[in-house]
């Protein structure tokens, strides 16, 4: 089966993990944590990085650090992975959903204003499937209405908005390093910020809110959201190849877009977008299957499976899911979700396999 995702690992990961094990520092103190935090934040152009146990705890830590609490509202896109919404709920705050842009599937800046109330504290844009959101438009609204921005950049390591890397646009920005993400630490996450106070507070809350001056003194209820030195050792090895991984993913996306161009020209499918102002990293290469196609989205996925090609449907609109159910209509979220397929996108795939996927789709959708 040609997989949708697969981590890109080699001897370097093994070497650093072995080194960490031999050093005895296998919990959350050790040199690899410091190196990883420094390298990842420098890569994204921020002053600080606070590594966490996973991407969801990074989001929760970011929201808590910004003081989001009961009674507050946080604006999030209706089309995202459920962790974005859950993190808001963990603060006893309310996620308020906003429709996405029809072209690039991120939160639509034009639909944000109408959702702002006296309770709104923050906007959480999600750079879906590797494509950045329109950060200038979102920053203008946030400044205007005195709101925080928390970037959920879990799917967009290295993506750029107007030449600047994502992760540098939020008051705090969060990444995930789960096994299927662009780079991985197995499980892992990070909060990035340029703010001295947020950095201090996030570090304190990550470590049981233990006082720096007085051992076992806790002024708040904190968390154990620490990353281990073993995870960070893998992360340091991954940082040595992040640019290579992104280059492969962008190159593979180009092969897909060329090979599927005629189906797109005929309006049968839509190709993964890249706006003029964006450098997309194609975490997962996506296509949308239009009504004009002779087969349904799910039929296409089933027939690909018969040809040993794995694929995935897009996320459901969050407001379709039982914990967040509402009958509110989010036209673009619903349409995009229903039509979208993630194609095999691992950086480990060879171009022959990508051509096999392209041929299969062209055969299924004449
Ligand atoms: C993967 C992902 C997360 C959560 O990351 P975990 O490391 O799995 O907790 C959050 N938001 C988005 C958009 C994601 O894709």
What values do phi and psi take at 309, rounded to 5?
-120, 120
pLDDT at 366: 74
Q: Is the CB of 189 under 6 A from ligand 1?
A: yes
pLDDT tens, position by position, for the chain (366 residues)? 999 999 999 999 999 999 999 999 999 999 999 999 999 999 999 999 999 999 999 999 999 999 999 999 999 999 999 999 999 999 999 999 999 999 999 999 999 999 999 999 999 999 999 999 999 999 999 999 999 999 999 999 999 999 999 999 999 999 999 999 999 999 999 999 999 999 999 999 999 999 999 999 999 999 999 999 999 999 999 999 999 999 999 999 999 999 999 999 999 999 999 999 999 999 999 999 999 999 999 999 999 999 999 999 999 999 999 999 999 999 999 999 999 999 999 999 998 999 999 999 999 997
252 within 8 A of 49, measured Cβ to Cβ = no
What atom in ligand 1 is closest to the CA of residue 187?
Answer: 7
Q: Is the CB of 176 under 6 A from ligand 1?
A: yes
If you measure from the C-alpha of residue 180 to the centroid of ligand 1, how many angstroms do you get, rounded to a whole number?
A: 10
What atom in ligand 1 is closest to the CA of residue 128?
Answer: 13
Q: Is the CB of 52 under 6 A from ligand 1?
A: no
Q: Mutate which of 87, 176, 315, 316 to test ligand 1's pocket (most atoms within 8 Å of Cβ)?
A: 176
If you measure from the C-alpha of residue 269 to the centroid of ligand 1, how many angstroms do you get, rounded to a whole number?
A: 27
**Helices (H) and strands (E) in the chain — how many of each?**
12, 14
The token pair that represents 89 in the structure block: 């709920």
What atom in ligand 1 is closest to the CA of residue 84?
Answer: 11
What atom in ligand 1 is closest to the CA of residue 176?
Answer: 7
pLDDT at 168: 98
What values do phi and psi take at 186, rounded to 5?
90, -85
User: Which parts of the chain fold into alpha helices (H)?
Assistant: 11-23, 31-44, 55-65, 83-90, 135-145, 196-206, 229-239, 242-259, 261-265, 297-306, 331-339, 351-364
The token pair that represents 56 in the structure block: 């969801």
In angstroms, the CA 151 to CA 167 distance is 7
């Amino acid at each position: 089966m040609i997989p949708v995702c697969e981590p890109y690992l080699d001897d370097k990961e093994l070497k650093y993990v072995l080194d960490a094990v031999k050093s005895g520092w296998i919990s959350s103190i050790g040199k690899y944590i410091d190196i990883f935090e420094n390298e990842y934040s420098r890569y994204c152009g921020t002053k600080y990085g606070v590594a966490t146990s996973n991407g969801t705890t990074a989001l929760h830590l970011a929201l808590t650090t910004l003081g989001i609490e009961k009674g507050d509202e946080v604006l999030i896109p209706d089309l995202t992975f459920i962790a974005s919404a859950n993190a808001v709920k963990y603060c006893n705050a309310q996620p308020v959903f906003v429709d996405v842009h029809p072209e690039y599937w991120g939160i639509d800046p034009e639909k944000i204003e109408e959702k702002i109330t006296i309770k709104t504290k923050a906007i959480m844009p999600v750079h879906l499937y590797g494509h950045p959101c329109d950060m200038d438009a979102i920053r203008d609204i946030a400044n205007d209405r005195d709101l925080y921005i928390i970037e959920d950049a879990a799917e967009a390591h290295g993506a750029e908005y107007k030449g600047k890397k994502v992760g540098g646009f939020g008051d705090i920005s969060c990444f995930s390093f789960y096994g299927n993400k662009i780079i991985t630490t197995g499980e892992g996450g990070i909060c990035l910020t340029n703010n001295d106070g947020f950095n201090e507070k996030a570090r304190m809350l990550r470590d049981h809110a233990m006082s720096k001056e007085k051992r076992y003194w806790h002024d708040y209820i904190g968390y154990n959201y620490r990353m281990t030195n073993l995870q960070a050792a893998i992360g340091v090895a991954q940082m040595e190849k992040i640019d290579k991984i992104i280059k492969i993913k962008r190159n593979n996306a180009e092969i897909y877009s060329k090979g599927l161009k005629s189906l797109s020209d005929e309006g049968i499918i839509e190709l993964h977008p890249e706006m003029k102002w964006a450098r997309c990293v194609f975490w997962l290469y996506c296509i949308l299957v239009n009504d004009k196609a002779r087969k349904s989205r799910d039929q296409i996925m089933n027939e690909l499976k018969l040809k040993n090609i794995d694929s995935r449907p897009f996320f459901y609109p969050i407001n379709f899911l039982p914990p967040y159910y509402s009958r509110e209509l989010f036209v673009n979220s619903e349409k995009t979700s229903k039509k979208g397929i993630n194609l095999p996108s691992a950086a480990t795939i060879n171009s022959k396999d990508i051509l096999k996927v392209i041929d299969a789709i062209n055969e299924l959708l004449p």
